[in-house]
Amino acid sequence: MRLTVIGTGYVGAVHAACMAEIGHEVLGVDIDRERVTALAGGRVPFFEPGLSQMLVKAVNAGRLGFTTSLAEAVRFGDTHFVCVGTPQDPASGVADLRYLHSVVDELAGCLDGSAHDEVLMVGKSTVPVGTAARLARRLGAVSPAADVAWNPEFLREGCAVQDTLRPERVVAGVRTEHAEARLRAVYAPLLDAGAPFVSTDLATAELVKMASNAFLATKISFINAMAEVCDATGADVLTLAHAMGQDSRIGPRFLAPGLGFGGSCLPKDIRAFTARAEELGLGRSVGFLRQVDEINTRQRKRTVELAKRLLGGSFADRNVAVLGAAFKPFSDDIRDSPALAVAEMVRSRGATVRVHDPEAVDNARAASPELQFALDVAKACERADVVLHLTEWPEYRQLDPEALATVVRTPALVDARNTLDPLPWRSAGWTLRALGRPGLD
């Protein structure tokens, strides 16, 4: 099949490369000429394991190309995946749909006189419930032959290629049997490999993404709330989370106490979900999500206070080493990064802060030029009064505490991700603190 992918940011670039990988001819479309040039040359402008190799393979095989022309895309194929961003309005929390509306309006204009008898626009962007139906009316008024479906993405940064090629489910919000058949054909190799296909209406498909992210965010904030209770009572949150996770009704995933979630999805989506519910007069039904958001944000402040106590009550004239800038490992994404937020808070309180990250230093430096950065851990920790472990990269679990103790001024560590083994650190003379684990004191 010949597919187009409109919007080649994180979601779009991954989707385009993966669709080419499973055998389709794909044309990616973006208004960013530099991005199009980079992708056409086989260069991925962000870090995602496995994507670069797949992109180069597809481009060289002639199955994947890129353009800035939507009109060219309309001539190329009749199934158009829309992957443009829907950022959060910082004032209201409402999803900003201007880019999505712009694409639909331009697509409608290009469809006038199109050689394709039946055109399917497939939304992958995360949107408030009701958006797809409105877009279908908007597109249908111009081109009656055009149909709209919604096919939300469930990508985890750092695992996006795997999540696309081996999805836990493919959700298709459709209005017609023809649209469902088209999407089944697109994903046939994945369905043949056992991926479940969930066919539903537009509104349910939109809600599946929002509800899933809201639930995951709630699970993370729940265990972080329990970490606060553990700090007050002397209990250990890691043992608590482990015991809870043995219950098959709960499970261990996302019961990871620590600094909390960030990135471009969970924070934005729960705020947009809450805002949409309030528009529908259902604010009380999802009011708990505001508390979920508050608990998550509070973890950053609690981490700063934990570090402050280790320093005797003040950051003034102290050196602080920060391990991690990306919002999660295996990514260079620093959007709403808890790690970077903590680093900035510490610096604003008078400390000199030096940050290390295996992949995100360039992005972090551009976003926070007032911080200092280092390309190796030892340099970041040189003469540090405290080390903050803020992003759970595997490299940090493999550090040698004894060697690092010879570099710092004071061997003091805050494990804000609860992923470091405390025994070797304490054996090497380090003072170790972690959220929800008062027994380490």
- pLDDT single digits (tens) 68-101: 999 999 999 999 999 999 988 887 888 899 999 9
pLDDT the model gives residue 88: 86
63 DSSP 8-state letter = S
What pLDDT, in 10s, does the model give residues 33-80?
Answer: 999 999 999 999 999 999 999 999 999 999 999 999 999 999 999 999
pLDDT the model gives residue 83: 97
pLDDT the model gives residue 152: 96
The answer to whether 194 and 170 are in contact (CB under 8 A) is no
The answer to whether 127 and 95 are in contact (CB under 8 A) is yes
pLDDT at 114 over 80: no
* CATH superfamily entry for domain 2-200: NAD(P)-binding Rossmann-like Domain (3.40.50.720)
SS3 53: helix
High-pLDDT (> 70) share of the chain, % = 98
The C-alpha atoms of residue 379 and residue 381 are separated, in whole angstroms, by 5
Tell me which of 141-145, 270-274, 363-367 is least confident. Answer: 141-145
Identical fold, 2-200 and 294-440:
yes
Active site residues: 265
Q: Which two tokens stand for residue 227?
A: 């970490």
Which residues on neighbouring strands pair with residue 200, listed in sequence order? 173
pLDDT at 109 over 70: yes
pLDDT at 111 over 70: yes
Question: Phi then psi for 104, rounded to 5 degrees?
Answer: -65, -40
pLDDT the model gives residue 113: 58
Pairing of strands 146-150, 431-433: unpaired
The C-alpha atoms of residue 436 and residue 419 are separated, in whole angstroms, by 13
Which residues on neighbouring strands pair with residue 433, listed in sequence order? 414
SS3 275: helix
The C-alpha atoms of residue 399 and residue 160 are separated, in whole angstroms, by 27
Phi-psi region of 93 (alpha: psi -120 to 50; beta: other; left: phi over 0): left
Closest by Cα among 72, 80, 183, 184 to 123: 80
**Segment holding 433, helix H or strand E:** strand 431-433
pLDDT at 209 over 80: yes
Q: Which two tokens stand for residue 291?
A: 């508390």
CATH assignment, 294-440: 3.40.50.720
Neighbour-count burial for 54-66, b at 16+ CB within 10 Å, e otherwise: bbbebbeeebbbb
Report domain extents, the chain: 2-200, 294-440
Pairing of strands 319-323, 352-356: parallel
pLDDT the model gives residue 117: 67
Which residues on neighbouring strands pair with residue 120, listed in sequence order? 79, 147
pLDDT at 115 over 60: no
The answer to whether 340 and 367 are in contact (CB under 8 A) is yes
Question: Phi then psi for 46, rounded to 5 degrees?
Answer: -155, 165
pLDDT at 227 over 80: yes
pLDDT at 134 over 60: yes
The C-alpha atoms of residue 58 and residue 53 are separated, in whole angstroms, by 9
The C-alpha atoms of residue 270 and residue 259 are separated, in whole angstroms, by 18
What pLDDT, in 10s, does the model give residues 140-172?
Answer: 887 788 999 999 999 999 999 999 999 999 999
Tell me which of 114-123, 181-190, 240-249, 383-392 is least confident. Answer: 114-123
Q: Which two tokens stand for residue 350?
A: 């008078």
